[in-house]
Amino acid sequence: MRIARSTAAGIITGIVLLAVVVGFAVGLPEATGGKDLPKLPDRLDSRFVALSAVTPEDGGATSSAGAEQIKAFAASAQASEKKARKRLGELYGEAEVRSYLDLPATVAGNPQARPAQFSVTVVPGDAGLVIPSGPFEIDGAQTGAHYELTEIDGYLCSKLWSDPVDPMTGLPTGLEPSGDSYQVECRAERGGLTYDIYSSGLDPEETAHYLDLVLRRTA
């Protein structure tokens, strides 16, 4: 049951992430209509699985109660995706959205680490600017928090991150930030559709990689 609870906790976090994405997507371009939106896959690779597609087998459920718990959370994730699509559809005419979870990391259940997650949004229209935190870069030499706009592998991105700190002392370690230090948003346009990915727990290059993978999987 410990593994099942770990998976369920990750799904809850992913549902919250969906709500965040709806807020961030307010900056997406206005819909032009008349476009067929792609169906986002249940699984992108061996690591990332859509929250609504997580099965008891995926979560390592070892009892009927654990299996039912995971089924219930997956159903809740599906309802949240439907709600997010409806909300975005009101703003942009139509939308496709799914949230993905780093399933192996979630099942491992490390209490010291939050599994990486991201949500993908697809709407009609040309890609606009990615400026969820504003157009001004922040150099957190004093605060330890940083924000900048950038281009990664041809994709427009924004990244927000914090300097790693020692959990015991709260002081900066001087180490390079890892994936769990970042929140990243990247955007691309293809065939009159805008693809937007918002990640938590992935570094910028990984986020751009998964945007590229989504584009290839929906070609």
> For residue 2, what pLDDT is reported?
37
Q: At what angle do helices 2-24 and 64-92 cross, to 10 degrees?
A: 0
- Each residue of 128-166: pLDDT tens digit? 666 666 666 677 777 788 888 899 999 999 999 888 888
- Taking the C-alpha atoms of residue 32 and residue 30, their distance in angstroms, rounded to an integer, is 7
Q: With contact defined as beta carbons under 8 Å apart, do 97 and 81 qualify?
A: yes
Q: Enumerate residue ranges in the chain where pLDDT < 50.
A: 1-8, 10-12, 14-16, 19-20, 22-24, 26, 31-32
Under a CB-based contact definition with an 8 Å cutoff, are residues 45 and 111 in contact?
A: no
61, 81, 109, 110 from 8: Cα distances, Å: 11, 16, 11, 14
CB 72 within 8 A of CB 10: no
* The pLDDT value given to residue 187: 93
The Cα 57–Cα 178 span in angstroms is: 30
pTM score > 0.85 for this model?
A: no
* CB atoms inside a 10 Å sphere around CB 106: 28
Starting at the edge strand that comes first in sequence, how are the strands of the sheet with 193-200 ordered? 48-50, 96-102, 117-124, 193-200, 182-190, 155-162, 145-152
What's the distance, CA 116 to chain centroid? 8
Ordered alpha helix ranges (H), 25-161: 56-59, 64-92, 103-108
